[in-house]
Chain A
């Protein structure tokens, strides 16, 4: 029987899942609907520590805390101010990028940096210093966050910007939510006159064609490639290079329609195998019949193709999926990418969605930010016992050998030595961690247990 307030009990019965749905841990979930909810929520914690989380779109365990307290911030989604002259939008940290777009697009403004999904919170975007298709010209998300408030568990509040509490600003951007509770933030939006993107899709064969296209497109704002990780031989590293700029031809700036499709159930474990993924990849490659396609495309399918299907992660079945994303610097980017892609193709563990992009050299303000100039490749694998983890561990070692690093937001498997090699500054960063806040990721990669 329905009661308006009964969702409280229902909510308590289900675990908080990350997007990869691996691992899953029990945790006490507390909802923060108001900025003032934070202090009472942490006032009497006796065990396990706490972790503020948003939409749970990190793939692994950076948004989980085993046997601890997850403080879900999505109810804190209020706007605080918007200045149409500068594009500065100030909002509570639980507001999602989708909600920001709904507000800003009709007013002629767009996100300065868009990740592959709009269903992440402002706070989560800062904590993971996310990147997008315009990294080579715009840098990371954090570069466009002019200021935010950080609330520490001892009650102190710090306004952080490039000129105020600069060390806390640097530690919190890309700081995995560990430096404290981000209550609100200011994001500098950019003007647009149309929802449309002047899109061009270009087929390529092999890494060298990809690198040529990357060079040619250096002053195009958005570039990203889908790449076939299942094929070998003459089809090895074939893909589609997708590039675009915001259209300068004005069109009506309406709000996006809400997605109607929901992936309705957990697919059986065997649904994604080498054969189905190879078929998908071949179909994707040949969906574009011509070598070069030019089109005017709405920003939704350009930036957020997967958001069209809510809960698409169920496609991987109950076991979940493992993401893997590296950044390898230019000096060994070509060599490393070929070696890793060969290892993936050889393993037969097909990757369904493989995304290849060149990172630019715009420095990130974050101490622990993931991107660095070079090539980044994002892969996902269905979790298959005895196979997936050894492969991913080997790929992580290869990444390390090529001087690269992995993205914590997309990781559920890197070892402590690997993490500490990828991020040698981690000990310096650890000094900024809030003593009450931790995550299962942090405990895994540092061996840190909260002394509570």
Chain B
């Protein structure tokens, strides 16, 4: 891994369109975010598991004005392949300004309570795999003293709850890892952004009453693009989740353990 990173270190950071690596590019929020970047003429390298969906997203982003779109089909659970995948991506982009990690699974909480393999799978996809990606990406960025690592975590990681603590703990681990990573590499000129979205309106709820009360994925995407541009550390989106989670976090455990959340 380090040899690849060292070899690439020689590449100059050319100015021009933003060079963005998107991991999990077919997720709703990722796609909405990429549409904004595409309209700004960004260069995009997209990674997702499903080739057909990935091709549809790539075609859309090209049409919207992305200056460059390249794709790779990959299962990000396959951590063995990460170094090859990432060096191929930054090579294609001839550098990297932003890495955007958006993949993850909700998983089946009830099944996870009975079956460790289900739990392990959720933890692997949501925590271990991103950690593997971030380890490579962080070192790549540190060598250049440049770049932003923007990662979708979740408000669910702020406190474990009976309804989804397996998913929550995977995101808690991810948030803690990101906090530590930020503490290590921010001083090297690399920004780490932890993104914590609330419920978001997707195609799933389109055209139905009350769906307007969910966050609009385009608005969420806009906030994410702005937070990355402003080099923020953390983003609750929509912002209302920041005070809500502050309250949730401060409830004493002896009370919290009796709540049905």
Q: Which residues of A contact B (CB under 8 A)?
A: 1-8, 10-11, 14-17, 29, 31-36, 53-56, 72, 74-82, 92, 94, 103, 262, 310-311
Contacts and interface: CB of A to CB of B under 8 A. Distances in A.
A6 B64 CA distance: 30
B207 A4 contact: no
A31 B204 contact: yes
Interface residues of B, number: 38
Nearest to B219: A258
A78 B241 CA distance: 30
Nearest to A63: B207
Contacts, number: 111
B239 to A, nearest CB: 13
B209 interface: yes
B251 interface: no
A34 B205 CA distance: 15
Interface in B104-161: 106, 154-156, 161
B207 A2 contact: no
B173 interface: no
Nearest to A77: B203
B52 A8 contact: no
Given A2-B199, A7-B200, A78 B156 contact: no
Contacts of B59: 78-81
The 3 closest A-B pairs by CB, nearest first: A75-B203, A78-B60, A74-B206
A253 to B, nearest CB: 13
B210 interface: yes
Contacts of B209: 14-15, 17
B81 interface: no
Given A34-B52, A79-B59, A103-B64, A55 B207 contact: yes
A94 B206 CA distance: 11
Nearest to A5: B106
Nearest to B107: A5
Given A14-B208, A31-B204, A4 B197 contact: yes
A80 B57 CA distance: 9
Contact of A8 (B154, B198, B204, B261): B204
B31 to A, nearest CB: 8
22 contacts: A1-B156, A1-B163, A2-B155, A3-B163, A4-B154, A5-B106, A10-B199, A10-B205, A14-B208, A14-B210, A14-B211, A15-B208, A15-B209, A17-B208, A31-B202, A31-B203, A31-B206, A34-B56, A55-B207, A74-B206, A75-B206, A103-B64
B200 A74 contact: no
B53 interface: yes
Contacts of B163: 1, 3
Contacts of B205: 7, 10-11
A94 B203 contact: yes
Contacts of A7: 199-202, 204-205, 211, 214
B164 interface: yes
Interface string B161-205: 101100100000000000000000000000000000111111111
Contacts of B154: 3-4
Contact of B202 (A75, A82, A311): A75
A15 B234 CA distance: 37
Nearest to B64: A79
B206 A55 contact: yes
Contacts of A311: 212
B63 interface: yes
Contact of B60 (A53, A79, A94): A79
Given A16-B207, A72-B206, A36 B60 contact: no
B204 A34 contact: no
Contacts of A94: 203
A118 to B, nearest CB: 14
Given A1-B163, A3-B199, A4-B197, 11 more contacts: A1-B248, A3-B167, A11-B205, A29-B208, A33-B203, A33-B204, A36-B52, A36-B53, A75-B28, A79-B63, A103-B64
A262 B212 contact: yes
